[in-house]
Structure 1
Amino acid sequence: MIFGIGTDVCDIRRIEATLGRQGERFVQRVLGASELAIWQRRSARWPQRGVRYLATRFSAKEAFSKAVGMGMRMPMTWRDCEILNEPSGKPVIVLHGALREWCEARGLRAHVTVTDETDYAASFVVIEQ
């Protein structure tokens, strides 16, 4: 049964501007430990690729928070919701801490897709129960 559906469209230029103002402090607030390591590798090779990665993760976390129906309030936190990739490239949601426990207690399972094109990143999340 579908518990919730969330979508988000993010202007990559807005993320880039925020990154320019706040620097890595913004990145560390939004990305979990595994995501942060990926962002650092991508940014070192090509900074714009790092910005796009950050924008897709930001968008997916917003979509997830909408799908579970709680917005960005506890137990939903930026860092406890990571958007990682399987070896095949398929994006997956990996939850940590209280957010993981909250979802497990309700029997929730999340599916996510992310994309970016020119100036925008978009994400869709479906939550099953």
Structure 2
Amino acid sequence: MIYGIGTDICDIRRIRETLARRGTRFAEKVLGPHEIEVFRERLATVEARGVAYLATRFSAKEAFSKAIGLGLRMPMTWRACEIVKAPSGKPEIRLHGELAAWFEAKGLRAHVSVTDETEYAAAFVVVETRG
């Protein structure tokens, strides 16, 4: 049964401008441990890929926070929610700490889809109850 649905669209130009103003501090605030490694690697290789990666993760976390009905308040934090790639390439949500415990206690599971184009990144999340 569906617990919640969330969607978000992000203007990649705004992310690029924020990075230009604040450097990687913004990325370090938003991205979890695995994500920050991928971001730094992509940013160093092709800057546009790094910026798009950050935008898709930002959008997915916003969509997830809407789907679980908490917004960005405890136990939902930017860094406690990571969007990682399965070996198949499919994006998946990995949770940490109090958010992971809260999510597990509620018996939930999440599905995420992300996409980006030159100027926009978007994400869609469906959270369902198990069983």
Name the TM-score, length of structure 1 as normaliser. 0.99
Within 5 Å, give how 1:102-113 maps onto structure 2: 102-113=102-113
Q: Confirm whether residue 28 of structure 1 aligns to residue 28 of structure 2.
A: yes
Q: Confirm whether residue 97 of structure 1 aligns to residue 97 of structure 2.
A: yes
Please list every run of 5 or more consecutive structure 2 residues that lacks an aligned counterpart in the other structure: none
Which string of whole-angstrom CA distances, capped at 9 and with x for unpartnered residues, describes residues 15-49 of structure 1? 11111111111010000000000001111100110
Please list every run of 5 or more consecutive structure 1 residues that lacks an aligned counterpart in the other structure: none
Quote how far apart the aligned CAs of 1:123 are: 0.2
Quote how far apart the aligned CAs of 1:87 are: 1.1
3-state DSSP class of the match of 2:115?
strand
Q: Confirm whether residue 4 of structure 1 aligns to residue 37 of structure 2.
A: no
Within 5 Å, give how 1:47-62 maps onto structure 2: 47-62=47-62
3-state DSSP class of the match of 1:72?
coil
Which string of whole-angstrom CA distances, capped at 9 and with x for unpartnered residues, describes residues 66-90 of structure 1? 0000100000000000000011110
> What is the distance in 2 between the residues matched to 1:36 and 1:118?
21
The match for 1:119 is: 119
In the TM superposition, structure 1's runs of 4+ consecutive aligned residues that sit over 3 Å from their partners are: none
Name the TM-score, length of structure 2 as normaliser. 0.97
Q: Confirm whether residue 77 of structure 1 aligns to residue 100 of structure 2.
A: no
Query: Kindly, what percent of the aligned residue pairs are identical?
Result: 67
> What is the distance in 2 between the residues matched to 1:88 and 1:12?
26
The CA RMSD measured in Å over matched residues stands at 0.5
Quote how far apart the aligned CAs of 1:118 are: 1.6
Q: How many residues align?
A: 129
> What is the distance in 2 between the residues matched to 1:29 and 1:95?
16
The match for 1:13 is: 13
